[in-house]
Amino acid sequence: MTNTIPVVKPISKIHLAPGSLVTIYDVTWEEFESILQELGNKRAARVAYNQGTLEIMVPLPEHEIPRDLISDIVKTLLRAKKIKYQPFGSTTFKREGLSGVEPDACFYIKNCQMMIGRRRLQADDPPPDLAIETDVTSKTTLDAYEAIGVPELWIYDGGNFTIYLLQDNKYIKSNISPNFPEINISQIITTTVERSWVVGNLQALEELEGSLEKLI
C-alpha cells in the first residue's frame, strides 16, 4: 500500500510569469492573512480575496502603463478643480473575515483630510472614495469591493472603461462620475490612454492638461 504525502510549498516559492492569474479556493481568512504576510509589501503580484476565494495576479506592461496614466489623470483633474486628495496606491483594504483587495490605485477625496499622515490603516478608517483597476474582469474583485464599501470603482479593461457606483451595497454601472460630474470622464480616460500608446504617457498627459480649460 502506497501512502500519499502532500507536498506543501510556500506561496512565495511559486513563480508566476507576468500576465499570470492563479485562483485558489477554500482559503480561510487566517490563511489569507498568512499569505499576505509571506508575500510582503515589495512584490509585483496583486491579490484579491472574497469569501474563501483568493486570486493572485502578476500584471503585464499593458496593465501597468494605463494604471499609471489613469492615476495621473485623476490627480491632474483634481488639481485643476482645486480639490484636495490623498493617494493610497495599492494599499490592502480588508473587511475582517470576509474580503481583501489591493486596488491598482486609489484616492481619498471626501475623506482626504482624515487620512493625511496615516502610515497604517486603522480598523475604523473608511474605504477610499475612488478605486481604480485596470484589466480586471473577475467577479471576485467586484464582490470584494462591494464588501469593503468603496463608493466609486473604475475599471479599465482593454480599451473599455466602466464606472461602478455603490448603491444598497451593490454596484451599478454609471455614465457619470460623482467626483467629476461635469465632464465626460469615460471619453477622457479612453482617449488619453489610447493616445499614450502612440506618443507616450507624458505627452498624452500634457495634451490633456492643455485642453482642461475647455473641459472644466
Whether the pLDDT of residue 135 is over 80: the answer is no
Greater model confidence, 7 or 202: 202
User: pLDDT value at position 42?
Assistant: 74
Burial category of 20 from C-beta neighbours within 10 Å (exposed 0-12, middle 13-18, buried 19 and up)? middle
Q: What is the pLDDT of residues 36-64, one digit of tens each?
A: 999 887 777 889 999 999 999 888 777 78
CB atoms inside a 10 Å sphere around CB 69:
24
Residues 6+ apart with CB under 8 A from 79: none
CB atoms inside a 10 Å sphere around CB 66:
28
Rounded to an integer, what distance in angstroms lies between the CA atom of residue 106 and that of residue 43? 18
Rounded to an integer, what distance in angstroms lies between the CA atom of residue 193 and that of residue 197? 7
Three-class DSSP category at 112: helix
Domains in the chain and their CATH numbers?
A: 60-215 (3.90.1570)
- What pTM was estimated for this model as a whole? 0.87
